[in-house]
C-alpha cells in the first residue's frame, strides 16, 4: 500500500447543497436523498503532481455530514485508476488502486466527522495521462442511489486549466427532422455512431459496442446517457454531412454522415475499409519488446503471429489481442476496449508507439526472446 500523500488541489468541484437531517414537531426524521455526480476530466501536463511518486492528480471537494457514506468510482481506459477519499484537513486518507486490466476502481468511506472531504482522481503510476470519469455518491447509510446522474457545478480554487461550463439542461424531445438522426463515421479510426428519432443511441468503437439514449439540450448541445452517467456535448456543424462533438473536457471528435440508419448497416457500408488480415510471422512487430531505460515505467510487451498479446508493467500482467489496421496502424484490444497506435520505426529493433492521446513510448526488441 502506498504511503498517505498530502498535496494541494489544482481545482475542485463544489457539490450542490445537500439536505441535512431535520426533526418535525411529530419527531419524524426526514432522510436526505443520496446525490450522485459524474465528473469528466483528464490527467494531463499542468495538473498537480503527487509529491510521493510523481503521478498526476485532480481533486474534487464535497461537503458531507458525520456518518454519511461517500462512494467514489474512477473509470479510465487510458490509465490505471487510483482513487482517494481524504477527510477534512487531510487528517486521514482512504485509497485504493484498480485491479490489473480492469481500469475501474470503487472506494467507499463513512465520514467520521462533518465537513469538506476531498475525492482524488489519480493514476497508479507516474507518467500516465488521459481522460476519466469520476462518479461520487454521498448520503446517509441505507438510502438508495437515484438513477439519474447529475453534473456538479464547477468552482475554480486555484490557477490552472479553467473548468468546463456546467452541463446544459435538456430541452424539447428529439424532433424527427433533427439533423443528428442517422449514422456517422469518425474521420479517424473505425468508429460508428447511430442516433434514432426515438432517442436511442448505439456505437461501435474499434469493434466494441455500447448502447444508450440521447436528447437535445439548449442550442447546439446534446446529452448522451449511458450506464455510467450522462455526458453533455456541444455540436459544431460543418454543413449537414460533417459534425464535430466537443466534450466538457475539451476533447473533440469529428464525424461524417454515412448512408445507414443502424450499426449493422454502418458496418456493412464500411466493410471494404476493414482491417488487414491477421499479422503473419513476418510482421516486424512479432516478438518481445522492452521499454527503454529511463522511462517512468518498466514494461515488456510480446506480440505473437496468431494475434495474442501479453505485457508486464511494473509487476502487473495484462493479456489481449492485437492486429494491424488497413492504414498500417496497430490496434490493441484489452478487457475494456480497443486502442489504436501509430508505429514509428528506427531500423528493425527500435519502435515508438504513438497513442491517440499523444502519449509516446519507445521499445527495443529483446533478442532471442520468443513471444
Single out the residue in 136, 155, 174 at which a domain terminates: 155
Query: pLDDT tens for residues 247-283?
Result: 888 888 888 898 888 888 888 766 544 433 344 557 8
Same domain, 189 and 245: yes
pLDDT value at position 215?
92
Mean pLDDT within 182-186: 90
In this model, does residue 110 exceed pLDDT 80?
yes
Long-range own/partner contacts, residues 186-192 (CB < 8 A, 24 or more apart): 186/253, 186/254, 186/255, 187/254, 187/255, 187/256, 188/254, 189/340, 189/356, 190/270, 190/273, 190/275, 190/325, 191/253, 192/258, 192/260, 192/263, 192/266, 192/267, 192/270
Same domain, 315 and 355: yes
In this model, does residue 144 exceed pLDDT 60?
no
Residue 170 counted as domain residue: no
Residue 251 counted as domain residue: yes
Which residue, 314, 319, 363, is CA-closest to 341? 363
Same domain, 295 and 260: no
pLDDT band at 12 (very low <50, low <70, confident <90, very high): very low
Single out the residue in 224, 245, 273 at which a domain terminates: 273
Mean pLDDT within 352-371: 83
356 versus 91: which is more confidently predicted?
356
Same domain, 189 and 117: no
302 versus 13: which is more confidently predicted?
302
Query: pLDDT tens for residues 43-100?
Result: 998 899 988 888 999 999 998 899 899 999 999 888 889 999 998 887 677 888 888 8
- % residues pLDDT > 90 (the chain): 19
* Euclidean distance between CA atoms 94 and 92, whole angstroms: 7
In this model, does residue 345 exceed pLDDT 80?
yes
Contact yes or no for 153/248 (Cβ under 8 A): no
Domain that holds residue 187: 182-273
Which residues, including other chains, have CB under 8 Å from residue 153's CB and lie 6 or more apart? 13, 14, 16, 166
pLDDT value at position 100?
80
Scan for cell 532471442, then name that residue. 368
Residue 172 counted as domain residue: no
Residue 161 counted as domain residue: no
pLDDT band at 239 (very low <50, low <70, confident <90, very high): confident
User: Lowest-confidence range among 117-131, 196-210, 277-291?
Assistant: 277-291
Same domain, 237 and 335: no
Same domain, 136 and 215: no
Contact yes or no for 50/159 (Cβ under 8 A): no
Residue 163 counted as domain residue: no
In this model, does residue 40 exceed pLDDT 70?
yes
Same domain, 292 and 267: no
Contact yes or no for 94/107 (Cβ under 8 A): yes
* Euclidean distance between CA atoms 151 and 33, whole angstroms: 16
Same domain, 102 and 147: yes
Phi/psi of residue 95, nearest 5 degrees:
-150, 150
Residue 281 counted as domain residue: no
Which residue, 341, 330, 362, 132, is CA-closest to 247? 132
154 versus 245: which is more confidently predicted?
245
CATH code of the domain in which 342 resides: 2.40.128.640
Calculate the alpha carbon distances from 98 to 93, 107, 137, 173, 317 in Å. Answer: 17, 10, 19, 39, 13
CATH code of the domain in which 20 resides: 2.60.120.380
Strands 191-195 and 200-205: antiparallel
| pTM of the predicted model over 0.85 | no
Single out the residue in 273, 300, 334 at which a domain terminates: 273
pLDDT band at 348 (very low <50, low <70, confident <90, very high): confident
Number of domains in the chain: 3
Same domain, 32 and 59: yes
Calculate the alpha carbon distances from 90 to 58, 125, 167 in Å. Answer: 15, 22, 30
Same domain, 148 and 69: yes
Same domain, 268 and 327: no
pLDDT value at position 296?
62
CATH code of the domain in which 229 resides: 2.40.128.270
Number of Cβ atoms within 10 Å of the Cβ of 367? 8
Residue 173 counted as domain residue: no
pLDDT value at position 351?
92
Average pLDDT over the chain, rounded to an integer: 76
Residue 282 counted as domain residue: no
Contact yes or no for 167/146 (Cβ under 8 A): no
* Euclidean distance between CA atoms 82 and 88, whole angstroms: 20
Same domain, 100 and 125: yes
pLDDT value at position 281?
58
Amino acid at each position: 500500500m502506498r504511503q498517505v500523500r498530502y498535496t494541494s488541489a489544482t481545482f475542485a468541484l463544489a457539490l450542490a447543497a445537500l439536505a441535512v437531517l431535520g426533526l418535525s414537531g411529530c419527531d419524524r426524521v426526514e432522510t436526505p436523498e443520496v446525490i450522485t455526480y459524474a465528473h469528466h476530466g483528464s490527467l494531463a501536463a499542468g495538473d498537480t503532481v503527487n509529491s510521493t511518486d510523481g503521478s498526476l492528480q485532480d481533486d474534487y471537494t464535497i461537503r458531507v455530514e458525520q456518518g454519511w457514506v461517500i462512494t467514489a468510482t474512477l473509470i479510465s481506459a487510458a490509465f490505471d485508476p487510483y482513487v482517494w477519499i481524504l477527510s477534512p484537513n487531510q487528517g486521514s486518507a482512504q485509497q485504493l488502486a484498480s485491479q490489473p486490466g480492469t481500469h475501474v476502481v470503487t472506494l467507499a468511506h463513512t465520514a467520521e466527522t462533518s465537513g469538506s472531504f476531498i475525492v482524488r482522481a489519480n493514476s497508479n503510476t507516474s507518467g500516465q495521462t488521459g481522460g476519466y470519469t469520476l462518479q461520487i455518491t454521498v448520503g446517509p447509510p441505507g438510502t438508495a442511489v437515484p438513477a439519474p446522474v447529475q453534473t456538479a457545478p464547477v468552482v475554480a480554487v486555484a490557477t490552472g486549466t479553467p473548468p468546463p461550463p456546467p452541463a446544459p439542461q435538456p430541452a424539447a424531445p428529439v424532433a424527427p427532422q433533427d439533423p443528428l438522426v442517422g449514422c456517422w463515421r469518425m474521420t479517424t479510426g473505425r468508429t460508428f455512431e447511430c442516433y434514432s428519432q426515438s432517442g436511442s443511441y448505439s456505437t461501435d468503437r474499434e469493434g466494441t459496442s455500447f448502447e444508450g439514449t440521447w436528447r437535445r439540450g439548449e442550442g447546439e448541445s446534446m446529452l448522451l446517457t449511458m450506464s455510467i452517467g450522462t455526458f453533455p456535448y456541444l455540436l459544431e456543424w460543418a454543413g449537414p454531412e460533417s459534425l464535430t462533438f466537443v466534450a466538457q473536457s475539451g476533447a473533440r471528435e469529428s464525424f461524417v454522415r454515412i448512408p445507414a440508419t443502424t450499426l449493422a448497416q454502418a458496418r456493412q457500408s464500411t466493410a471494404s475499409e476493414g482491417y488487414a488480415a491477421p499479422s503473419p510471422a513476418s510482421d516486424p512487430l512479432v516478438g518481445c519488446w522492452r521499454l527503454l531505460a529511463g522511462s517512468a515505467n518498466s514494461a515488456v510487451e510480446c506480440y505473437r503471429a496468431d494475434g495474442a498479446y501479453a505485457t508486464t508493467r511494473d509487476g502487473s500482467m495484462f493479456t489481449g489481442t492485437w492486429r494491424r489496421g488497413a492504414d498500417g496502424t496497430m490496434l490493441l484490444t484489452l478487457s475494456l476496449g480497443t486502442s489504436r497506435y501509430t508505429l514509428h520505426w528506427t531500423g528493425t529493433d527500435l519502435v515508438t508507439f504513438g497513442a491517440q492521446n499523444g502519449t509516446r513510448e519507445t521499445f527495443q526488441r529483446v533478442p532471442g526472446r520468443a513471444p
